[in-house]
Amino acid sequence: MYKLLCQLFFAVVGQNLPKEVFEDTLYWLLQGKRKGRQIIERNVKQVSIMTPYQLQITDWPREYIEGRTQKGRIKIHSILICEKFRQMFHTHNEETFIPCHRYIKIWEEGEEVGYKKTKVKVILYFNSLEDKEKTKKLINDHLGFRNIYNDKILKYKLGVRDYSHLCMCSICSKFMLSRAERMQINKRDPGVFEVYCHENRSSISSKNDWNHILCQVPICEECFNSKERQEKYRMNMYNYHHFKDGYHVNSPEERRKNNLEESLEVVKPNMTNVPYKDKFMWETPFDYSGSLKCILDKYSTYYWHPDLTADEYMRYQDHKCLQLVENADPLDDDRYPSDDDFDEYGEYPENY
């Protein structure tokens, strides 16, 4: 069954079916009735039209979130596909770059705590990085709207947030389909997971579930377990603090440029006195700090200079650790009270 689904998935998406998707979701749906198989068909189609180039459109007026057209269509959807929206945000210099897919999720929350609020998540998917960046710039540069809707004047300015990096491996930039799908259907704003990934370094869930996974820096399984891949893509690693303010485009060229510029400010470690070894304390360079932030931080003791191979980096870290142990000062007994100074209840005497 797994092989059959892999063939179907590859035919539709052009990529291999992630094993975790089959084990965590599809397998259990296949055990049920026809409804489960229909869910699989719908999800495969949904995943097949996802791309790594995503924009979330925010700050919609409440009237549009809750509104419907005369034909019963979601008001926001009618806006996204209208000619005016296309001309304003998907056309520039007579060039058109329409999204290949639009996703809208509307839900209600807060009723159990005394307030009821309708929320929306709107994501646009593009076929290329260039198309995504053009639309992002046009929305950011727009001064806002003043529309009349149901005899009411609405003044608003749409916002745009780029969370594409949360669905791409931070090492090799591989598009992580299962992560993107879970990020899409989650009712939490992607910004919540971004903070946990790159700032808090913790999780909103105590379980090893998808909420916990989405709080971790996105690294594909192949890169996580391979020192060879970490070495191969060292210059491609994603530096969140370089891109977080939106001044730089998250492109392969910009990632390489940033990693190169950072390395020029750090002297390459001298490996002359570092003894050779072919067995290391850890399996990969990432394991030494467990943090991509430390590997890319030029002020960190775990910074990985790009001129070092993975083996050289691991030798260097092992050597520093051994030096730290050898050079550590022994405890000075004169600075610590002896056991004789405690009274029978294990407390210091009053005159101590």
CA distances from 302 to 63, 136, 263, 265, 337 (A): 51, 35, 13, 15, 37
Chain centroid offset of residue 244 CA: 12
Q: How is 1-20 classified by DSSP, letter by letter?
A: -HHHHHHHHHHHHSSPPPHH
Query: What integer pLDDT is reported at residue 228 of this predicted model?
Result: 97
In this structure, which amino acid lies at residue 197? C
Q: pLDDT 10s per residue in the chain (352 long)?
A: 555 555 555 544 445 656 665 555 555 556 655 555 555 556 666 667 899 999 999 999 999 999 999 889 999 999 999 999 999 999 999 899 999 999 999 999 887 777 788 999 999 999 999 999 999 999 999 999 999 998 899 999 999 999 999 999 999 999 998 899 899 989 999 999 999 998 877 889 888 899 999 999 999 999 999 999 999 999 999 999 999 988 899 999 999 999 999 999 999 999 998 999 889 999 999 999 999 999 999 999 999 999 999 999 999 999 998 888 777 666 655 555 555 555 555 555 565 5
Query: What integer pLDDT is reported at residue 113 of this predicted model?
Result: 73
| Residue 108, both tokens | 């209600």
Query: What integer pLDDT is reported at residue 13 of this predicted model?
Result: 47
- pTM, whole model, 2 decimals? 0.80
- Quick one: angle between helices 34-48 and 2-13, nearest 10? 40
Chain centroid offset of residue 90 CA: 26
Are 85 and 70 a contacting pair, CB within 8 Å? Answer: no
Residue with tokens 């002020």: 299
Query: What integer pLDDT is reported at residue 334 of this predicted model?
Result: 58
